[in-house]
Amino acid sequence: AQSVTQLDSHVSVSEGTPVLLRCNYSSSYSPSLFWYVQHPNKGLQLLLKYTSAATLVKGINGFEAEFKKSETSFHLTKPSAHMSDAAEYFCVVSDPSGGSYIPTFGRGTSLIVHP
Amino acid sequence: GAVVSQHPSRVICKSGTSVKIECRSLDFQATTMFWYRQFPKQSLMLMATSNEGSKATYEQGVEKDKFLINHASLTLSTLTVTSAHPEDSSFYICSAPSSGQGAWITEAFFGQGTRLTVV
């Protein structure tokens, strides 16, 4: 069975400083991994995805993530936080366990950006 | 890019009434639609998977008679919360795989979500 753990429920940074949102996964297969962002009372928007191509994945709005199989991690980073980055971030894993690619969502990390 | 449009974005209803939520795939055909429920400060919980032309598949613990799902066309899936009660108040989100059907392999597109408040 697949699982995903977002290690921090909240991350607080100052505007202009780096962002690190941590995600660890468990999968018996070669999984697909995703990061989605959700602003209050909105749907989810795809930031980036890993689907067995390059391990360093670049996404929208300056975010990137690195797939590290040895560490079973897929941490999300951004060099410099912006106020508009304040939102909820979800790490998602999807693999063919159970015969279908039903994704599993992490619990979410709330990113707080201080001026 | 592909868009999933969800309507309404907010609804307030009286206890005992039914509410219908619609999700449309605007520029692609989605034979599969996933329906999620999200409680405050929590992650998304998969409620059911709808497939065009067949019965929806519900996750364990989700009441089929309470949450009616209809996927009557290739671009429309609906979730009806029947005889709503305050405990049904939540944020409901639909999602379609980018392939339009079946597996959620590469990515999925999400609707804007519906905030349901039952009073």
Nearest-Cα residue of chain B relative to residue A39: B112
Predicted local confidence at residue B97, as pLDDT: 80
Q: Judge whether B89 is closer than 8 Å to chain A, CB to CB.
A: no
CB A16 within 8 A of CB A80: yes
Of chain B, the percentage scoring pLDDT greater than 70 comes to 92
Q: How far apart are CA A104 and CA B43, in angstroms?
A: 10
Predicted local confidence at residue B106, as pLDDT: 60
Q: How far apart are CA A20 and CA A28, in angstroms?
A: 26
**B82 vs A93, higher pLDDT:** B82
Q: How far apart are CA B119 and CA B117, in angstroms?
A: 6
**Amino acid identity, residue B16?**
G
- SS3 at position A9: coil
Predicted local confidence at residue B1, as pLDDT: 59
Distance from CA of A66 to the nearest CA of B (A): 17
Is the sign of the CA dihedral A112, B1, B2, B8 positive or negative?
A: positive
Backbone angles phi, psi at A96, to 5 degrees: -80, 20
- Residue B55 is classified by DSSP as P
Q: How far apart are CA A88 and CA B70, in angstroms?
A: 30
Residue A101, pLDDT > 80, answer no
CB B58 within 8 A of CB B78: no
Best probe of the B interface among A105, A109, A110, A111, by most B CBs < 10 A, is A105
**Amino acid identity, residue A27?**
S
Instruction: Give me the mean pLDDT over the B20-36 stretch.
Output: 90
Tens of pLDDT, residue by residue over A1-54, are 788 999 999 999 999 999 999 999 998 888 889 999 998 877 888 899 998 778
Residue B23, pLDDT > 70, answer yes
Q: Average pLDDT, whole number, for chain A?
A: 90
pLDDT category of residue A94 using cuts at 50, 70 and 90 = confident
Instruction: Give me the mean pLDDT over the A79-103 stretch.
Output: 85
Question: Do the Cβ atoms of A90 and B111 come within 8 Å?
Answer: no
pLDDT category of residue B44 using cuts at 50, 70 and 90 = confident
Predicted local confidence at residue A96, as pLDDT: 73
Residues of B in contact with A100 (CB under 8 A): 102-103
Instruction: Give me the mean pLDDT over the B96-102 stretch.
Output: 67
